[in-house]
Chains A and B, each alone.
Chain A
Amino acid sequence: GDSVTQMEGPVTLSEEAFLTINCTYTATGYPSLFWYVQYPGEGLQLLLKATKADDKGSNKGFEATYRKETTSFHLEKGSVQVSDSAVYFCALSDGSNYKLTFGKGTLLTVNP
């Protein structure tokens, strides 16, 4: 079945540091890939998405590229802010089973 593996946290960075959160997936067919973010006490918010190979999703300075050859969708940001502190989830949808499959989540803490 489908699965998503993302790097274990927690990740602690200083403000303005470079961020990478690794995500790899296993799926049949050609899934759509997503990064969601969850702030304390909140639901999930879509951060970015990519629907086909080599697509780059971007939003609020975050980027991720759909790499079919390495089955990866790593999240990057060039300069993190304290307000980026949250839990980040990588997820996929293969479109045929009407559900999202999530990674375990990575807690990011950014210190001033």
Chain B
Amino acid sequence: KAGVTQTPRYLIKTRGQQVTLSCSPISGHRSVSWYQQTPGQGLQFLFEYFSETQRNKGNFPGRFSGRQFSNSRSEMNVSTLELGDSALYLCASSLDRQGTEAFFGQGTRLTVV
């Protein structure tokens, strides 16, 4: 079956702009999570959605937001981009059961100039 699909794969934006990233989970998976990966901070949790509800949010400023649609697809938005937002943004989907693994997409590489 198809894996987690993230679009676009690469983005270059200018400081102050906003950006929207998209994630399509594996069919049947209703939990979608987002992570930011940088060389300095490693992998940091952004937020998690299930059935269009945000169940947990990481320690990021309000410029980072997300949503989930009724078909489980998810988007995240970053407004007023800063140079420090340059990172690989990873989306993961999973079945909503304790101990089940998360399946990751290939990520969106965001560069802010």
Could you tell me if B42 and A49 are in contact, using CB atoms closer than 8 angstroms?
no
What's the A-B contact tally at a CB cutoff of 8 Å? 56
A104 CA to B44 CA, complexed, in Å: 10
Per the CB 8 Å criterion, the residue count for chain A at the interface is 23
Contact-residue bracket for chain B: 20 to 34
Q: Pick the contact of B43: A34, A46, A51, A89 (CB < 8 A).
A: A89
A24 to chain B, nearest CB (A): 16
A/B interface sample: 30 pairs, CB < 8 A? A32-B98, A41-B106, A42-B106, A42-B107, A43-B6, A43-B90, A43-B104, A43-B106, A43-B107, A46-B103, A51-B98, A51-B99, A93-B98, A93-B99, A93-B102, A95-B99, A98-B31, A98-B48, A98-B50, A98-B56, A99-B33, A99-B45, A99-B48, A99-B56, A100-B35, A100-B43, A100-B45, A100-B92, A102-B43, A104-B42
